[in-house]
């Protein structure tokens, strides 16, 4: 029934629109962050010192590298090298898991120290620090969920590559997966300095 | 492409048997009808709850339910009407039905995504209905889910907000689909300034859906997170700020008012020139005013918060911005009236709904000025004046726009005509009942009756009685209208392609349209409002 020809530009256009909505979704949280930073500058500073910049830095490297491999995977399929595309995309996926594992240990360490939402140890701290860690868990948590969604999309794309549903002539799915992955990366690039560096 | 001999209308084109032919169909017209049927069912549920609220309020003190149930009533009435009926009604139902046909396309840009949007709508709907009957009772927060109450109430708010989140997702995907469709699938001859104005209205709406809804998504998600993990972002005891919640909520929910009403304005813009037999007055002004409303409407959210504790400067700025929205809105109203001026007006049911739209929406708009002005708003804030105002705007506007659309496009969808005399009677009852129902609210609101109260002082009694009686007249009108339309689906008089002699593209294809919308490649021979030489319908006149 569907005799509508595949619209390459249309698919990309739709994806970009969707990415705008994702930015706005996080935008609400960035608004909260900026207002609470304004309200509690010293508490944010003190709490921010407690985050481990090496964990955050390692994760930044992992994500940025994964974006590079994503882009190379697209180049590979454009040159009709299916095998290389699959390899690069698999590395992207592996780096996503590196990110999540890293995050697991980072959050785990915080939980170990009694810092988690609504925990007794956290509630004894000043209000600004409660808010800081609240935002930290909500924003990195929401970002983590996006990493998981991105990983699922990459796995799906890998299968499509394998069965040549994604190929040299029709690789918009891979490109859109790439766009989504770059967005996840981009959001982290904002989260990282806000929580780990500037405070 | 000449398949003239055997045109299968989309209603009979089923790949799968029975109901699956509908719920797995990616045909935009079927999805549009699915939306229409599901929103109408929800509308009827919402109306029934509304009638129960009115009966409870017919006398002071307890009448039929206890206070807690009453709180659940107005919350559920609001959630159902806003999120499940009004927001999806015109764009998702009539937009899906007619946007692709009006631009000469075979379908929307992403047909599968379109079906997915409807599925999301149903999932959200199920979650919201689920929240009513499980846990510790139906949500009692009001449809705005204001913190801190929504964080701490024991009722089933968590499930309901997740339902709202999913509905928001559905709305975003519909908007995204429409924008892409308008950009990519217009027939090549159709330049931007040749598009029907309903398409322009949907296009503007789609941008609001895409740009505003994510903020609602994060807001309700935060309520869920707060309730689950007690993070305290909105809880003053933990350093949070409840006012921020109100900001985030209204950043979406005020533009959402324009998601509700701009498509209805688009419908009215289609109806009026057809029945005045005149080119629409000020095509460009109407097209751009849709965009202007979408833009300006995004800047005015804090006019819901004059009494919440904002700085005076902020109040003045938001008051000013709010007044600016009146300009593009008035442009539309004046253009409709100017189109009617010296037209050869044919009074048919769709036109009656369009005219009552103008009347009711104007009352809604003018009372909106009283609320938009900071000084007068302090007096009537959170009174029945507000309730009256938004029912005039949303029910009188979107609701009557929706009914108008049902009567205007009914012959196109089903290939049959309803009984026009009964439709007129139903319209009269609706119009009279509506005013008897909502006008007293403006009066008792001015007198000081607060909204959402279970009980009230004796001086408001008369107003409440009149209002409740009005709700019954309105209900009778609705029953007659739905009965008439429902019966005519199977038994109405058959019509041809173009019973109204309209000029937009959907009237050049058979009624009901075939699966891919057109029998042969559509040709753009005239502008959307050029009625000169429109062929008279041979099967019906």
CB contact under 8 A, A3 and B516: yes
* pLDDT of A153: 97
- In this predicted model, what pLDDT tens digit does every residue of B265-310 receive, in sequence order? 999 999 999 999 999 999 999 999 999 999 999 999 999 999 988 8
- Band of residue B2 on the pLDDT scale cut at 50, 70, 90: very low
Residues of A contacting chain B (CB within 8 angstroms): 1-4, 7, 9-10, 13-14, 17-18, 20-22, 24-29, 31-32, 35-36, 39-40, 117-118, 123, 126-128, 130-131, 134-135, 137-138, 142
Q: How far is B27 from chain A (nearest CA, A)?
A: 9
Comparing A90-94, B182-186, B310-314, B523-527, the range with the smallest average pLDDT is B523-527
CA atoms of B32 and B26, how far apart (whole Å): 10
**B387 versus B541: which is more confidently predicted?**
B387
Q: What's the pLDDT score for residue A1? A: 33
Min CA distance, B11 vs chain A (Å)?
15
pLDDT band at B135 (very low <50, low <70, confident <90, very high): confident
Give the number of A-B residue pairs with CB atoms closer than 8 Å: 113
Q: What ipTM was estimated for this complex?
A: 0.92
Angle at the Cα of A92 from the Cα atoms of A89 and A97, rounded to 5 degrees:
130
- Check if the beta carbon of residue B398 is closer than 8 Å to that of residue B460: no
Residue A92 or B3, more confident: A92
Q: Mean pLDDT over residues A133-158, rounded?
A: 96
Residue A3 has what pLDDT?
A: 44
Q: What's residue B537's pLDDT?
A: 66
Encode A31-71 in three state secondary structure: HHHHHHHHHCHHHHHHHHHCCCHHHHHHHHHHHHHHHHHHH
Query: Residue A81 above 70 pLDDT?
Result: yes
Q: Among A10, A23, A29, A134, which would you mutate to test the B interface (most chain B Cβ atoms within 10 Å of its Cβ)?
A: A134
Residue from the list B106, B184, B215 with its beta carbon closest to the beta carbon of A13: B184
Report the residue of chain A nearest B25, measured CA to CA. A1
Cα–Cα distance measured from residue B63 to residue B32, given in angstroms and rounded to the nearest whole number: 40
Distance CA B190, CA B100 (A): 12
Torsion of CA B79, B84, B87, B88, to 10 degrees: 170
Which residues in chain A are closer than 8 Å to B217, comparing Cβ atoms?
25
B217 reaches A (C-beta below 8 A):
yes
Beta carbons of B184 and A22 less than 8 Å apart: no
B20-69 pLDDT tens trace: 888 898 999 999 999 999 999 999 999 999 999 999 999 999 999 999 99
Band of the pLDDT at B172, cuts 50, 70, 90? Answer: very high
Question: Rounded mean pLDDT of B520-537?
Answer: 83
By residue count, chain A amounts to 199
Predicted local distance difference test score (pLDDT) of residue B538 = 53
Percent pLDDT > 70 in chain A is 97
Q: Chain B: give the shortest CA distance to residue A84, in Å.
A: 30
Residue B178: pLDDT over 50: yes
| Alpha carbon of residue B378 to chain centroid | 28
% residues pLDDT > 70 (chain B): 98
Decide if pLDDT at A103 tops 50. yes
Give the distance, in angstroms, between the CA of residue B31 and the centroid of all CA atoms in the same chain. 17
Give the DSSP letter of residue B536.
Answer: P
Supply the pLDDT for residue A2. Answer: 41
CB A106 within 8 A of CB A55: yes
Residue in chain B closest to A129 (alpha carbons) equals: B239
pLDDT over 90 at A19, yes or no: yes
pLDDT at B521 over 90: no
Q: Which residues pair with B416 in a beta bridge?
A: B494
Cβ separation B106–A127 shorter than 8 A: no
Of the given ranges (A118-122, B6-10, B183-187), which has the lowest mean pLDDT?
Answer: B6-10
Cβ contacts (< 8 Å) between A1 and chain B: which residues? 15, 26-27, 515-516
Q: How far apart are CA B361 and CA B368, in angstroms?
A: 10
Residues B445-466 have pLDDT tens digits of 999 999 999 999 999 999 999 9
For helices A82-112 and A127-162, angle between their N-to-C axes, nearest 10 degrees: 160
How does residue B3 score in pLDDT terms, banded at 50, 70 and 90? very low
Q: What is the dihedral of CA B231, B235, B241, B245, to 10 degrees?
A: 80
Residue B1 in this model has a pLDDT that exceeds 50: no
- pLDDT at position B516 is 87
Band of pLDDT at residue B536, cut at 50, 70 and 90: low
Substitution target in B239, B252, B301, B514 with the highest count of A β-carbons within 10 Å is B239
pLDDT at B20 (0 to 100): 86
The first and second tokens of residue A116, run together, are 């988690």
The separation between the first and the last C-alpha atoms of chain A, rounded to the nearest angstrom, is 58
Contacts of residue A4 in chain B, CB cutoff 8 Å?
106-107, 111
pLDDT one-digit tens code per residue, B142-167 = 888 998 888 888 889 999 999 999 99
B230: left (phi over 0), alpha (psi -120 to 50) or beta: left
Helix, strand, or coil (residue B514): strand
């Amino acid at each position: 029934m569907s005799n509508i020809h595949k619209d390459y530009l249309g698919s990309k256009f739709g994806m970009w629109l969707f990415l705008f909505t994702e930015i706005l979704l996080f935008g609400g949280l960035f608004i909260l962050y900026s207002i609470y930073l304004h309200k509690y500058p010293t508490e944010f500073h003190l709490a921010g010192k407690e985050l481990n910049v090496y964990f955050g830095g390692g994760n930044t490297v992992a994500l940025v590298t994964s974006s590079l491999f994503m882009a190379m995977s697209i180049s590979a399929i454009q040159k009709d090298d299916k095998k290389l595309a699959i390899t690069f995309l698999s590395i992207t996926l592996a780096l996503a898991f590196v990110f999540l594992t890293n995050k697991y240990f980072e959050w785990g360490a915080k939980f170990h120290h009694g810092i988690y939402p609504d925990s007794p140890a956290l509630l004894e701290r000043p209000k600004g620090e409660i808010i800081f860690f609240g935002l930290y868990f909500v924003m990195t948590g929401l970002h983590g969920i996006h990493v998981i969604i991105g990983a699922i999309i990459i796995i799906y794309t890998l299968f499509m590559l394998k069965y040549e549903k994604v190929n040299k002539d029709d690789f918009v799915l891979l490109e859109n997966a790439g766009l989504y992955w770059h967005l996840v990366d981009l959001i982290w690039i904002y989260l990282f300095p806000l929580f780990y560096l500037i405070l | 492409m000449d398949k003239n001999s055997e045109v299968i209308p989309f209603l009979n084109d089923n790949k799968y048997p029975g109901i699956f032919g509908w719920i797995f169909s990616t045909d935009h017209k079927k999805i549009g009808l699915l939306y229409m049927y599901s929103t109408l069912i929800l509308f009827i549920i919402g109306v029934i709850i509304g009638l129960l609220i009115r009966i409870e309020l017919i006398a002071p003190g307890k009448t039929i339910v206890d206070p807690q149930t009453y709180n659940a009533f107005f919350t559920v009435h609001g959630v159902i009407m806003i999120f499940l009926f009004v927001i999806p009604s015109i764009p998702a139902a009539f937009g899906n039905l007619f946007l692709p046909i009006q631009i000469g396309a075979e379908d929307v840009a992403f047909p599968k995504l379109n079906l997915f949007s409807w599925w999301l709508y149903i999932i959200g709907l199920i979650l919201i209905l689920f929240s009513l009957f499980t846990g510790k009772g139906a949500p009692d927060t009001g449809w705005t889910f204001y913190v801190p109450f929504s964080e701490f109430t024991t009722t089933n708010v968590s499930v309901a907000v997740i339902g709202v989140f999913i509905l928001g997702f559905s709305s975003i995907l519909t908007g995204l689909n429409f924008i892409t469709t308008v950009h990519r699938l217009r027939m090549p001859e159709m330049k931007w300034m040749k598009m029907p104005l309903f398409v322009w209205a949907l296009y503007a709406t789609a941008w609001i859906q895409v740009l505003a809804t994510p903020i609602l998504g994060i807001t309700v998600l935060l309520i869920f997170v707060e309730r689950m993990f007690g993070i305290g972002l909105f809880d003053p005891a933990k350093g949070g700020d409840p006012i921020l919640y109100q900001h985030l909520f209204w950043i979406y929910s005020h533009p959402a008012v324009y998601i509700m009403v701009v498509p209805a304005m688009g419908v009215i813009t289609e109806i009026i020139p057809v029945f005045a037999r005149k080119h629409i007055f000020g095509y460009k002004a109407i097209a751009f005013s849709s965009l202007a409303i979408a833009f300006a409407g995004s800047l005015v959210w804090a006019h819901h918060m004059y009494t919440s504790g904002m700085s005076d400067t902020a109040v003045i700025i938001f008051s000013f911005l709010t007044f600016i929205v009146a300009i593009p809105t008035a442009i539309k109203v004046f253009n409709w009236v100017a189109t009617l001026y010296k037209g050869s007006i044919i009074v048919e049911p769709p036109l009656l709904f369009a005219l009552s739209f103008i009347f009711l929406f104007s009352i809604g708009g003018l009372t909106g000025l009283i609320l938009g002005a900071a000084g007068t708003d302090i007096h009537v804030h959170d009174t029945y004046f507000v309730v009256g105002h938004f029912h005039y705007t949303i029910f009188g506007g979107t609701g009557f726009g929706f009914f108008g659309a049902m009567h205007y496009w009914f012959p196109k969808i089903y290939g049959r005509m309803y009984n026009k005399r009964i439709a007129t009677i139903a319209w009269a009852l609706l119009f009279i009942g509506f005013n008897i129902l909502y006008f007293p609210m403006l009066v008792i609101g001015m007198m000081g009756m607060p909204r959402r109260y279970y009980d009230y002082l004796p001086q408001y009694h008369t107003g409440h009685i009149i209002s409740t009686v009005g709700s019954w007249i309105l209900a009778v009108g609705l029953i007659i209208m739905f009965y008439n339309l429902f019966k005519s689906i199977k038994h109405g008089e058959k019509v041809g392609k173009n019973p109204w002699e309209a000029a937009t593209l959907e009237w050049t294809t058979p009624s009901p349209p075939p699966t891919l919308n057109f029998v042969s490649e559509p040709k753009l021979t005239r502008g959307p409002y050029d009625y000169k030489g429109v062929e008279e319908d041979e099967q019906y006149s």
